[in-house]
Structures are given as C-alpha cells and as structure tokens.
Chain A
Amino acid sequence: GAVVSQHPSRVICKSGTSVKIECRSLDFQATTMFWYRQFPKQSLMLMATSNEGSKATYEQGVEKDKFLINHASLTLSTLTVTSAHPEDSSFYICSARDGTSGKAFFGQGTRLTVV
C-alpha cells in the first residue's frame, strides 16, 4: 500500500529556533502535498497546498514567511517552522496525493513542542 513517511515524529525546540519537518511519499509520485495542523480535540486545519516545482498556496491566516514550504521533488516536501514560539506547538500532519490514482495518504504526523 501507499506509504507516506513523515519525520520527525516528535520534536522539542527552544523558542526562537527553526524546525524542519520532512514528508516523503515512498512508493508513489505525489503531484500535490498538503500540510495540516491539528490542535487537541479539534479538526484538521489545512495550512497550505504545494505542487512539485511551484510555490505553495497558503490558506488565509497562515503566515507564509513563518511556515516555509518546499516541494522540491515528486516525493519530498518540507515544512520549516521559523522562529518558533510556544503557540506554534501543535500536531503537524502532511498528506501526499498520488498523481495516478488521486488517492491522498497521510504521514504519521509530527508533534511539535516549543519551550
């Protein structure tokens, strides 16, 4: 089955530092990747949509300079949380959409804690 690998699964960082999260599609080419964040007991919130080789499309209210997204290849997208603050602590989840089948699969998620 389709596998999307997301790393790291957990990260603790100091306030003001940057954190990079990787999302890889292991056995299919992902024409589109999505980045979500989710607070406890709340719904998934789409942050941005990225297509390989082009700039990401950010949802309203998401700071593109703070959440840097790079989709350099058909199997890799990265999300960098710059100058992290405690309020950025959340569960970040990527999703990759198979360009052939149209199905979208999730990575395992990254639990970010900013102290």
Chain B
Amino acid sequence: GQNIDQPTEMTATEGAIVQINCTYQTSGFNGLFWYQQHAGEAPTFLSYNVLDGLEEKGRFSSFLSRSKGYSYLLLKELQMKDSASYLCAVTPGGYQKVTFGTGTKLQVIP
C-alpha cells in the first residue's frame, strides 16, 4: 500500500522562505511529484524527483531522500500568489498510478 503524509496547513509571510515536508511509505518507488493547486483549478506540475538530492527551479526547490522516504518543497521569496495547496505524490515501480497526499494548504500573509 501507499501512505503519504504532509502537513494540512501552513502559514508564512510574504518574502520569507517556507519548507513543506512530505514523508511516504510505499511498496516500490519510481519517483515523487510536487504539484501546486489553486482553489477551483487543476494542479500544475512543479517538480519530479527520481534520484536523491536537491533540484532547484527558480524560487522553488525540491529535495528527495529515498532511504528516509522523505521529500520537501522549498519556496523562496514568497509571494501572495503562492497561496495554494501543494500536493506531494508518489509513483511506485513502473509507470503505475500516482498516489497523492492530502495536500498542504499554504497561506501567505503580508
């Protein structure tokens, strides 16, 4: 089975840095996704980590440790528009279904 945990809600200040953690326990692992979802909209792709380490893409970075079953999404220089839900998702071995966590609702305040 798959079990993915991430905090339900977080609040951070505009201009600050926030780290959203995700831990997972899965039968097999082929990659971990992070998506951003604004209310009423479909998720948008942020990152896909297959190997251990940090991948940086502009203000967003994603880290993966396969041995620890752990990932985080780092958002720098927070902007008000970053207020959204951030979804962690894992795919087991092979191109099978992608299993989502419940998402972390991030609120950015002035």
Contact = CB atoms under 8 A, between A and B. Distances in A.
Contact of B43 (A57, A101, A106): A106
Interface in B27-72: 30-31, 33, 35, 40-45, 48, 50
B45 A32 contact: no
A46 interface: yes
Interface string A46-79: 1001000000010000000000000000000000
A102 B97 contact: no
A95 B95 contact: no
A91 B39 CA distance: 11
A97 B45 contact: no
B65 to A, nearest CB: 19
Interface of A: 2, 6, 31-32, 34, 43-44, 46, 49, 57, 91, 93, 95, 97, 99, 101-109
11 contacts: A6-B42, A31-B95, A43-B100, A44-B87, A49-B97, A101-B48, A102-B50, A102-B91, A103-B45, A104-B91, A109-B41
